[in-house]
Structure 1
Amino acid sequence: MVLCCERGKKFTVRLLDIDAPERYQPYAEKSKALLKNLLEGERLKLLGDKSDRYGRRLAIIEVDGDNINEKMVSSGAAWVWKYSNNRHMRSLQQEAKERKLGLWALPEEQRQDPSDWRKAHPRK
């Protein structure tokens, strides 16, 4: 999702515990714009050193002590990843849902968990 540099080496980061809308899903552009706004020009701190099966580094991103992963979920710009057992993130999502923030303000028929959307729209 985010390209970073470390000691001159570029790598891709997947934000831990979240799943943002896919490119052609409703709210995708707004989610991407929010993330860009939160990160652009900032010094990032990455917490986590594991990688997923695609070689992406799994991390929590912090900017000035703020957890960006949490901000994405609490603002309704992303879902909690389907397989996450992070209770705090789930409570942030529930609060965003109750307050109809971000994608939770969309009509229900326009909201689809990105993992379900990917299954219904496989890459060619």
Structure 2
Amino acid sequence: MMRAFVLCTLLFLVLACSQAEQEGYRLVYVQDGDSAVLCCDAGKKFTVRLLDIDAPEKHQPYAEESKALLDDLLDGEPLSLLGEKRDRYGRRLAVIQVNGKSINDMMVMSGAAWAWKYSKSKRMRALQQEAKDAGRGLWALPEAQRQNPWDWRQSHQRK
């Protein structure tokens, strides 16, 4: 009986610590429209790549607007993160939330980012279609200027 109690207590503490680890972040700076550097009370900075979205690259049309919107949405707000996985560059892949609202969703809804081409999220695809139909953000650009980032990166590979 005592062993079960100790195990339950340890499990509770691990889950409580894990939950606390997800909250209380703040913005250090925005790198681009789909990644930001965050920090916490411990002072260790880390990069977060917004899950399921892909924003215009630095030299693409609408890149500065996308970056500025992400900065506006995150700056000065207490942030929480959903997601623990890392990408091949070591960035944490997550949904960033402010007051329980998904910043990832807001970026796609506003037309500041595309739903990532490999995303399995039907919600993200629907939000993108809604932004496209309404002509919001990058969807207001002439079609010739709306090259999705994954194709743009392929045609502008670093040497």
Query: Shorter-chain-normalised TM-score: which range?
Result: over 0.9
How far apart, CA to CA, are the structure 2 residues paired with 1:57 and 1:123?
23
Deviation at 1:30, TM superposition (A): 0.4
Deviation at 1:52, TM superposition (A): 0.4
Q: Give every structure 1 segment of 4 or more consecutive aligned residues whose post-TM-superposition deviation is greater than 6 Å.
A: none
How far apart, CA to CA, are the structure 2 residues paired with 1:93 and 1:81?
10
Q: What stretches of structure 1 of length at least 5 have no aligned partner?
A: none
Which structure has more helix as a fraction of its residues? 2
The total of aligned residue pairs comes to 124
How far apart, CA to CA, are the structure 2 residues paired with 1:35 and 1:107?
23
Q: Deviations over 1:28-55 (max 9, x none)?
A: 0000000000000111001101100110
- Tell me the TM-score normalized by structure 1: 0.98
RMSD of aligned C-alpha atoms? 0.7
Identity of matched residues, % = 68
Q: Which has the higher contact order (CA 8 A, sep 6+)?
A: 1
Q: Deviations over 1:58-92 (max 9, x none)?
A: 00000011100000000000000011010000000
Match of 2:67 among 26, 29, 32: 32
Which of these two proteins has the greater Rg computed from alpha carbons? Answer: 2
Which structure has more strand as a fraction of its residues? 1
Quote the residue 2:79 is aligned against: 44
Q: What stretches of structure 2 of length at least 5 have no aligned partner?
A: 1-34
